[in-house]
């Protein structure tokens, strides 16, 4: 694949507002990923934020309370596009559940991307308040996965 062909692919990505493009032919594989704050990435972030807000509001309405989130609550977001798994294998128990105490560096989920299983580890010690996705669900980069009450 020539440099001109790659530039043409970049132009196609820009014209069609694509965030990622992968092409393989004749033993050559190229994967282009647009990083930054393009229109699609911004829309996805706004959608993810609205999911978080509606989940929090729905949970509070069901409980009949208006309890605000703890000040030390953080959202763990997907570091990549893939398929979310909460168990290490189909017949295993979940790595974490809502209410679970977690340690920094503990594996909290697995994301399958391009047939590779990527262990996602917690960067904080705390308690899982909410899990936003279910096992086997496709996820997007930046999508909220967990709401964690960070231990102070």
Three-state SS across the chain? CCHHHHHHHHHHHHHCCCCEEEEEECCEEEEEECCCCCHHHHHHHHHHHHHHHHHHHHHHHHHCCCCCCCCCEEEEECCCCEEEECCCCCCCCCCCCCCCEECCCCEEEEEEECCEEEEEECCCCEEEEEECCCCCCEECCCCEEEEEEECC
| Predicted TM-score (pTM) of this structure | 0.56
Inter-CA distances, 11 with 21, 28, 109, Å: 11, 20, 36
- Domain co-membership, 78 together with 28: no
Give yes or no: residues 143 and 82 share one domain. Answer: yes
Share of the chain above pLDDT 90, in %: 45
**pLDDT above 90 for 111:** yes
**What is the pLDDT averaged over residues 81-100?**
94
CA 61 from centroid of its chain's CA atoms: 26
Confidence of residue 76 (pLDDT cuts 50, 70, 90): very high
Q: Across residues 19-35, what is the average pLDDT?
A: 73
Q: Are residue 75 and residue 29 in the same domain, yes or no?
A: no
What residue has token string 């509606």? 54
Q: What is the mean pLDDT of residues 110-137?
A: 93
For 51, phi then psi, to 5°, come to -65, -45
**Other C-beta atoms within 10 Å of 131: how many?**
21
> Could you give the number of structural domains in the chain?
2
Q: Give the structural domain span for 113.
A: 68-150
Answer for the pair 122, 67: CB distance below 8 angstroms, yes or no: no
Q: Are residues 22 and 86 both part of a single domain?
A: no
Considering the domain boundaries, does residue 21 fall inside one? Answer: yes
Largest CA distance in the chain: 62
């Amino acid at each position: 694949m020539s440099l001109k062909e790659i530039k043409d692919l970049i132009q196609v990505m820009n014209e069609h507002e694509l965030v990622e493009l992968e092409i393989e032919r004749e033993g050559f594989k190229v994967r282009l990923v647009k990083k930054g704050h393009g229109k699609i990435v911004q829309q996805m972030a706004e959608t993810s934020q609205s999911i978080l807000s509606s989940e929090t509001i729905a949970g509070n309405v069901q409980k009949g309370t208006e309890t605000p989130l703890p000040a030390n609550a953080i959202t763990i977001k997907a570091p990549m596009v893939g398929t979310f798994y909460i168990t290490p294998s189909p017949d295993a128990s979940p790595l974490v559940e809502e209410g679970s105490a977690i340690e920094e560096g503990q594996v909290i989920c697995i994301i399958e991307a391009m047939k590779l299983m990527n262990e996602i580890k917690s960067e904080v010690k705390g308690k899982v308040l909410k899990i936003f996705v279910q096992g086997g669900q496709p996820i997007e980069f930046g999508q909220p996965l967990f709401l964690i009450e960070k231990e102070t």
